[in-house]
Amino acid sequence: MNKKLLSGPYLMWMIGFILIPLALIVFYGLTDKSGAFTLSNVLSISTEEHAKALWLSLGLSLLSTVLCLVLAYPLAMILRTRGMGQGSFIVFIFILPMWMNFLLRTLAWQTLLEKNGVINGILSALHLPNQGLINTPGAIILGMVYNFLPFMVLPIYNVLMKIDDNVVNAARDLGANSLQVLIRILLPLSIPGIVSGITMVFVPALTTFVISNILGGSKILLIGNVIEQEFTKGSNWNLGSGLSLVLMIFILISMALIAKYDKNGEGTVL
Amino acid sequence: MINRKTAFIKRFFQDFYLVLIVVFLYAPIATMTVLSFNNSKSRTQWGGFTTRWYTELFSSSTIMDALYTTLLIAFVSSLIAVIIGTAAAIAINSMKPFPRSLLMGITNIPMLNADIVTGISLMLAFIAFGISLGFKTILIAHITFNIPYVILSVMPKLKQTDKSTYEAAMDLGATSVSAFFKVVFPDILPGVLSGFLLAFTMSLDDFIITHFTKGAGINTLSTLIYSEVRRGIKPSMYALSTIIFLTVLVLLLITNFAPKRKK
């Protein structure tokens, strides 16, 4: 029996439900309602409304990615120095929220941040003035960091755990201090994990419409919201597809980065 | 002496940092759990202990319908994905480097692509193919994004298996099918199972792709929560969240810490 035949169903499935659908986005994005070729859908990213949404998305998602990295790296380092192996319960605690329903996690922050929410309740109990926390860019960043932090922790932790202790010890024997070990040894060796973590946080943060919808109210529009509305409310699929094509440029850049820095898939979650 | 002191301080700060992150990660979940037992609808006042939100949750037919749909889709889509994905992994594993990397490249698309793009593209395709949006389309969409997880779980196990055992079984007169199920399959079974579990969880958790492919009149838990959130959160959602969290906790504890058979 030819083993290659076994890939038949898979190939047909992937062509039908991955490649053709993507081709359709390209087709819709580059045509107008009558089916004639046009670049106007893609170029409409430069209109004030869309450009503002894109810049805001880029800004918020970059900031969230940096925050995740800054929070996650020390965490992964501590887990490593404590010698917590893959099966350790402590590591499990940091990964667990990742498996909790994404919407419920965001809903939780809405409960905390709302005008009559838990945080403002605590503030007024302490006779402190209430804060306008919800419907701000800050609330969106908080939601992004909270939702995607485990996606940064896991790949960095995986890569750090693979670094041989002897490499670190050798550097120490040769006179390196902790900072030098970090900069010269651990950071360069953990780049696959860092890059993988960055893309795993950046891509969903850049394209989200859920977090901005729940924590940002209806006034803060991210590029994800604009696209979602074109498909569910506005029903201008051509425009929505054109804007998706613009988004895909950023996704492709991320994919290229992964391919360059994480060749062996060291930083992947699986 | 000084060394011991700095080591102590270092350890203290490390512990402090770990605790801080744990609080950040779990405070929202804990808040929802507390509120799910709060008799008052207010989020800031404790009105006494109650389980009425849980009763309300289980007597709501919309929520129970959505739960049923969610579980059914997760189970069926993971099962089909496991069959298609395992077969594909076996085929890909026996391929030459070029077709192999081509197929793995296609496999990676749904994993690396943004969910919103995958969702939109599938919606456009279903409409182009003339498939009306509903249960069927959610199922197809979930199978599509589940297959890669199965392949990526099975592949490493396949690489570890020894080709000669399969060949030995064939030499001893086994047909290729029985050689596969008696010799290769037991070896890759852990990968198949973890692929199934991973696919199952991904399907349970998905919102964005379901949102675009579901059509009107059908809800999974995620899409139901989304529509509820827009109308204002009901305390029964907190009860739901608590139950889901506990379920995930128990399932992950079992899969991670169940006593493993040593070879």
Q: Enumerate domains of chain A plus CATH numbers.
A: 44-261 (1.10.3720.10)
| Boundaries of domain holding B204 | 61-257
Tokens 């060394």 belong to B3
pLDDT at residue number A74: 92
Quote the CA–CA distance of A21 and A27 in Å, as a whole number. 10
- Our count of domains for chain B comes to 1
Task: Using the predicted structure, report yes or no on whether residue A262 has a pLDDT greater than 80.
Answer: no
Residue B263 lies in a domain: no
Instruction: Tell whether A228 is within 8 A of chain B (Cβ).
Output: yes
Interface check for A207 against chain B (CB to CB < 8 A): the answer is yes
Tell me, what's the pLDDT at A264? 63
Tokens representing residue B168 in the block:
């030995």
Residue type, A167: V
Q: Do B126 and B209 form a contact (C-beta atoms < 8 A)?
A: no
Asked whether residue B146 is domain-assigned, the answer is yes
pLDDT band at A234 (very low <50, low <70, confident <90, very high): confident
Q: Does residue B51 register a pLDDT over 50?
A: yes
pLDDT of residue B260: 55
* Candidates B113, B122, B223, partner chain A, best to mutate (most A CBs within 10 A): B113
Predicted local confidence at residue A86, as pLDDT? 61
Interface size A-B, in CB pairs within 8 Å, comes to: 226
CB–CB of B116/A244 below 8 Å? Answer: yes
- Minimum Cα–Cα distance from A242: chain B residue: B117
Q: Which residues from A are below 8 Å from B92, CB to CB?
A: 7
Spatial contact of B118 and B142, defined as CB atoms under 8 Å apart = no
Q: Is the pLDDT of residue B168 over 60?
A: yes
Residue B201 belongs to a domain? yes
Give percent above pLDDT 70 in chain A: 94
Name chain B contacts of A112, Cβ cutoff 8 Å: 27-28, 31
Q: What is the CATH number of the domain that holds B198?
A: 1.10.3720.10
pLDDT score at A42: 83
* Mean pLDDT value across residues A142-170: 89
A118 to chain B: nearest residue by CA?
B44
pLDDT value, residue B263: 38
Positive or negative torsion for Cα B147, B150, B156, B158? negative
Give the model confidence (pLDDT) of A203-229 as tens digits.
999 999 999 988 888 788 888 988 988
DSSP per-residue string spanning A181-221: IIIIIIHHHTHHHHHHHHHHHHHHHHH-SHHHHHHSTTT--
Average pLDDT over residues A142-152: 91
Q: Give me the residues paired with residue A31 across strands.
A: A37
Residue of B133, B107, B151 lying closest to A18 (CA atoms): B107
Residue B52 lies in a domain: no
DSSP conformational letter for A130: P
SS3 A37: strand
In contact, A42 and A245? CB cutoff 8 Å:
yes
The 10 Å Cβ neighbour count of residue A239 is 23
CB contact (8 A) between residue A3 and residue B90: yes
SS (H, E, C) chain B: CHHHHHHHHHHHHHHHHHHHHHHHHHHHHHHHHHHHCECCCCCCCCCCECCHHHHHHHHCHHHHHHHHHHHHHHHHHHHHHHHHHHHHHHHHHCCCHHHHHHHHHHHHHHHHCCHHHHHHHHHHHHHHHCCCCCHHHHHHHHHHHHHHHHHHHHHHHHHHCCHHHHHHHHHCCCCHHHHHHHHHHHHHHHHHHHHHHHHHHHHHHCCHHHHHHCCCCCCCHHHHHHHHHHHCCCHHHHHHHHHHHHHHHHHHHHHHHCCCCCC
Mean pLDDT computed over every residue of chain A: 85
Enumerate the residues of chain B whose CB falls inside 8 A of the CB of residue A114. Answer: 43
**B106 neighbors A14 (Cβ within 8 angstroms):** yes
Q: What ipTM does the predicted assembly reach?
A: 0.86
**Torsional sign, CA B195, B200, B204, B207:** positive
Q: Report, as an integer, the average pLDDT of A62-68.
A: 95
Does an H or E element contain A27, and which? Answer: helix A20-29
In a domain, B46, yes or no: no
Which 8-state DSSP code applies to residue A31?
A: B
Question: What pLDDT was estimated at residue A64?
Answer: 95
Q: Give the pLDDT confidence score for residue A269 in this predicted structure.
A: 52
Shortest Cα distance, chain A CAs vs residue B31, angstroms = 8
Dihedral over alpha carbons B126, B127, B131, B137 (to 10 degrees): 40
pLDDT at B255 over 80: no
CB contact under 8 A, B125 and A16: yes
Task: Measure in Å the smallest separation between the Cα of A120 and chain B Cα atoms.
Answer: 8
Provide the pLDDT confidence category of residue B262 given band limits of 50, 70 and 90.
very low
pLDDT over 70 (residue A84):
no
Work out the percent of chain B whose per-residue pLDDT is above 70. 97
**Shortest CA distance to A93 belongs to which of A107, A74, A110, A79?**
A79
Residue B91, pLDDT score: 86
Reported confidence tier of residue A33, pLDDT bands at 50, 70, 90: confident
Confidence of residue A2 (pLDDT cuts 50, 70, 90): low
Tokens representing B254? 């079992």
pLDDT of A197 strictly over 50: yes
In a domain, B184, yes or no: yes
Of A126-135, B118-127, B138-147, the one with minimum mean pLDDT is A126-135
- Are B21 and A72 in contact by the 8 Å Cβ rule? The answer is no
Which pLDDT tens digit goes with each residue over B53-99? 899 888 888 888 999 999 999 999 999 999 999 988 888 888 888 88
